[in-house]
Amino acid sequence: MSQLANQYGAINLSQGFPNFPEDERLIKISENILKENIHQYTPMAGLPSLLEKIARQTEKEYARKVNPNTEILITAGATQGIYTAINTFISHGDEVLILDPSYDSYEPSVLVASGTPIRVSLNDDYTPNFNKIEAAISPKTKMIVVNNPHNPTGKVWKALDFENLETILEKHPDILVLSDEVYEYISFSQPHISFNTRDKLKHRTIIASSFGKSLHVTGWKVGYLIAPENLMQEMKKVHQFLVFSVNSFSQHVISQYLNIVDFSEISKMYLRKRDLFQSLLKESRFELLPCDGTYFQVVNYKSISDINDVDFATALIQKHGVAAIPISVFYNDHTDRQMLRFCFAKTDETLIAAAEKLCRI
C-alpha cells in the first residue's frame, strides 16, 4: 500500500510509521556519536549500556528487576525478536495459538519453524475469547502469542483478561507466552499492563518491544526481548547465527537518548492525534471503531460502498488520494469485513489534509 501510495502521490496513512520530524536532541546525539569510535561490532546480546538502561526502564515502569546481562537481548526490530523467539522454541508439529485478526509476522515465523499456527478468533469487539482459547489448546500447544495494545484493532487487554489467561495456563505449565508489546507506550484508556508485571506468567513469557515504535524511528530497526535467563540462553543461540549483533550506531545513540527521553509524553502526543483524527472524521461517512491504544484507527465504510476492502483501499488511493490498509489482510481467512486501518502517527497537517479528502467521499 505504501508503494501504491507513492505511485499515485496519495497521503499515506497505511503502513505504521510516523512522518513528523524526529526530536532534535536525538539528531544531535546522532551527529556527535558518528565521530566517535563506535563503528565496530557490539557484544552479541547488545551494547552493555543500552541493556542496562532497558533494565532500569523496566524496573521504573513495571517494578520488575531484570538482569541486563542475562535477561535482555537487543534485536533488529521486534520483528527479528519475534522470529527468534518462535524459531528457538517451535519445531515440527508444535502448535502456536495466534489470535485472529493479528499482526502479520507471527504466522510466517511459525511456518518457517515447521510449526502449526492455530488461529483463535477474537470476539466481535476484539476482546480475547477465553473459551475459544482454552478449547484450542492441545497436547501439542507450545506457545500463545499475545499482542497488546493490538495491531490492527487498537484494543487493549484489561486486568481481567490477564487473569483469565493465567487461570487457563495454570493447567498447562509448559506453554510459553510470546507477548508483543511494541505499543507499550501508546495506551490511552488505561496505563499499559505489561507481562513484566504478571507474576504468575513472567517466568515463561518472552516480551518483545521496539524502539522503532517508542522513539519514532521505525527505520532504525532496533528492538529487544526480555525473558528469564533459561529461555534467553536458548534464544541467544539462534540470535548469534541469525544476526550476531545489531547495528552499533543506533544502539549507541538510543543508549544516550534514553538518559533524557520521557516515555510518558508518547501516549499524550498520540492521544491528541487520535482525538484530532477522530474529530476530523466525524464529518465523514466512515464509522469509527474505538481505539484504546496503538496509532491505528479502524473504520468501516459500509455506508459508503459494498465493495471488498482490498478493492476499496485501492480505489481510495487511486481516486481519492489516501492510503489505508484493508483489515482483511490481518485475518487468517482474509474474509472481507469492509474495514480499513488508518495510521494517525502523522503531522497534524497530514491528518487534516487526509481527513478533508475522506470527508468528501
Q: Calculate the alpha carbon distances from 153 to 157, 161, 339 in Å.
A: 12, 16, 10
For residue 138, the SS3 value is coil
Is there binding between residue 187 and ligand GLN (CB under 6 A)? no
Vertex 86: Cα angle to 129 and 16 (nearest 5): 70
16 touching ligand GLN, by CB under 6 A: yes
Q: Which one-letter DSSP state was computed for residue 16?
A: S
Minimum Å distance from CB 361 to ligand PMP?
A: 27
Among 30, 102, 151, 209, binds ligand GLN (CB under 6 A): 151
Is 151 or 256 the residue whose CB approaches ligand GLN more closely? 151
Q: How many residues comprise the chain?
A: 361
Q: How many angstroms separate the CA atoms of 317 and 315, rounded?
A: 5
What are the backbone dihedrals phi and psi of residue 61, each rounded to the nearest 5 degrees, phi first?
-80, -40
Shortest Cβ 359–ligand GLN spacing (Å):
24
User: Least CB distance from residue 6 to ligand GLN, whole Å?
Assistant: 14
List the single partner that 223 binds among ligand GLN, ligand PMP, none, CB under 5 to 8 Å by kind: ligand PMP
57 and 63 Cβ atoms separated by less than 8 Å = no
Site for ligand GLN in 330-359 (CB under 6 A): none
Q: Residues 188-217: x/- map of binding to ligand GLN (CB under 6 A)?
A: ------------------------------
Distance (Å, whole) CA 198 – CA 196? 6
To ligand GLN, the closest distance from the beta carbon of 139 in angstroms equals 33
For the packed helices 229-242 and 77-89, what is the interaxial angle rounded to 10 degrees? 110
**Contact flag: residue 293 with ligand GLN (CB under 6 A):** no
Nearer to ligand GLN, 16 or 81 (CB): 16
Handedness of CA 267, 102, 152, 80 (dihedral sign): positive
Q: Toward ligand GLN, which CB reaches closer, 151 or 255?
A: 151
Of 198 and 221, the one with the shorter C-beta distance to ligand GLN is 221
Q: Is the dihedral of CA 276, 320, 347, 331 positive or negative?
A: positive
Is residue 326 part of the contact set for ligand GLN (CB under 6 A)?
A: no
User: Where along the sequence are the contacts to ligand PMP (CB under 6 A)?
Assistant: 16, 77-79, 103, 147, 151, 180, 182, 210, 212-213, 218, 223
15 binds, among ligand GLN, ligand PMP, none (CB under 5 to 8 A by kind): ligand GLN
Q: How far is the CB of 340 from ligand PMP (least distance, A)?
A: 16
What DSSP assignment string belongs to 306-346? -S-HHHHHHHHHHHHSEE-EEGGGGSTT----SEEEEE--S
**Least CB distance from residue 4 to ligand GLN, whole Å?**
14
Instruction: Name which of 66, 80, 114, 70 is nearest 234 in CA terms.
Output: 70
Query: Toward ligand GLN, which CB reaches closer, 85 or 232?
Result: 85
Contact status: 255 vs ligand GLN (CB under 6 A): no
**Count of residues in contact with ligand GLN, rule CB under 6 A:** 3
**DSSP 8-state class, residue 327:** G
Quick check: 20 and 346 in contact, CB under 8 A?
Answer: yes
Least distance to ligand GLN from the beta carbon of 175, Å?
26
Residues 42, 245 contacting (CB under 8 angstroms): yes
> In angstroms, how far is the first alpha carbon of the chain from the final one?
19
* Between 102 and 251, CB nearer to ligand GLN: 102
Assess contact for 344 and 295: CB atoms under 8 A: yes
> Does residue 18 interact with ligand GLN by CB under 6 A?
no
Strands (E), 154-239: 176-180, 205-210, 223-226
Please tell me whether residue 138 binds ligand GLN under the rule CB under 6 A: no
Which of ligand GLN, ligand PMP, none binds 133 (CB below 5-8 Å, type-dependent)? none
Task: Report the interface residues with ligand GLN, using CB under 6 A.
Answer: 15-16, 151
